[in-house]
Amino acid sequence: MRAIILAAGYGRRLSQTGDQPPPKCLLRFGGHSLLERHLRLLRRAGVDEVVIAVGYAPQQIEAELDRLNWQPRLQLVLNPDYELGSVLTVHCMAPALTAGGDVLLMDADVLYDGRMFEALCAGAHADRLLMDRGFQPGEEPVKICLRNGLPVELRKRVAPDLVYDTWGESVGFFRFTAATARHFAAIVAGYIDSGRADQPHEEAVRDLLLLRPQDFDTADVTGAPWLEIDFPADLTRARDEVLPQLQPLP
C-alpha cells in the first residue's frame, strides 16, 4: 500500500500577523510535527511507501525529513503552481496514483488518532472513505452524505433537495484500489485538460464517488479524536482537546 500525503498548500488562514507560516504539516503537537506523526502512524499500519506532494516552502519539509533521518528516504513531488488548486497537486501525483497497488490519499493538515488507520486499512483491498457523524455543521466541513449506505454527495455545501439518510464530515483520507486510483487519475487529468486546475481535489473525488458509489465503503469513525487544522482557533483546540486523547506515538 502506498500513501500520498498532500502537503503543497499554504495555510494563510493560520496567520494572524501576515507573517509567512511554516507548511502546515510542520506544525508541532506534543513535540512532534504533523509530518512525523503521519510517517510513524503509517509505518505502524504497515505502510512504508510514502510520496509527499510539496509546493509551498518545500525546503522546510526537506529539512524536517533530514532532522528525522527518515529511512527509506521519501519521494517529494513538487507542484510549483500549488496556489492554483489542490486538484493540480493531485495531478502532479499521477505516477504515484497509477503505479499499482492500493493507495491512501491523505490531507497533511490533520491531527488524528492512529486507530483511524485500522478502519481505513482493514481488508486486503478496498475503496474506502472515513466519515465522522459527530461534526458541527457549517460552511467549512466537507460533508459526506449517504443514502442506503451509498455515497450521494461529497461537498461543503449540500443541495437542499438532496435525498440522504446519513451524513457526516469527511476526514480527508481516502483509500483506493489500483483500478480505482487509475480511474481517479484520469478524472483529475480531465479537470486539468478542461481548465479546472483551480478546483479542490475533493471535487474530483466526488465525481469518482458518484460514478461508482456501489464500489465504496464508508467507515464510520465517529468518536475518534481528530481535527483538520485551518484556523488559529484550531491550533488551540488541537493542543487542548485532541492531543490529550491520542494514543502515544509508536
Over the stretch 149-173, which tens digit does the pLDDT of each residue have?
A: 999 999 999 999 999 999 999 999 9
Radius of gyration of the chain (CA): 17
Is pTM beyond 0.85? Reply is yes
Whether residue 240 is contained in a domain is answered as: yes
* Rounded-to-integer distance, Cα 86 and Cα 152, Å: 22
Whether residue 118 is contained in a domain is answered as: yes
Whether residue 250 is contained in a domain is answered as: no
pLDDT over threshold 90, residue 131: yes
Q: Count up the domains in the chain and report the number.
A: 1
Over the stretch 170-214, which tens digit does the pLDDT of each residue have?
A: 999 999 999 999 999 999 999 999 999 999 999 999 999 999 999
Whether residue 148 is contained in a domain is answered as: yes
Could you tell me the residue range of the domain that residue 135 belongs to? 2-245
Whether residue 236 is contained in a domain is answered as: yes
Rounded to an integer, the average pLDDT of 60-76 is: 94
Q: What is the DSSP string of the chain?
A: -EEEEEE----GGG-SSS--PPPGGG-EETTEEHHHHHHHHHHHTT--EEEEEE-SSHHHHHHHHHHHT-SSPPEEEE-TTTTS-HHHHHHHTHHHHTSSS-EEEEESSEEE-TTHHHHHH-SSS-EEEEEESS---SSSSPEEEEETTEEEEEESS--TT---SEEEEEEEEEEE-HHHHHHHHHHHHHHHHTT-TTS-HHHHHHHHHHHSGGGEEEEE-TTS-EEE--SHHHHHHIIIIIGGGSPPP-
Whether residue 98 is contained in a domain is answered as: yes
Whether residue 120 is contained in a domain is answered as: yes
Rounded to an integer, the average pLDDT of 71-93 is: 95
Query: What CATH number is given to the structural domain containing 93?
Result: 3.90.550.10
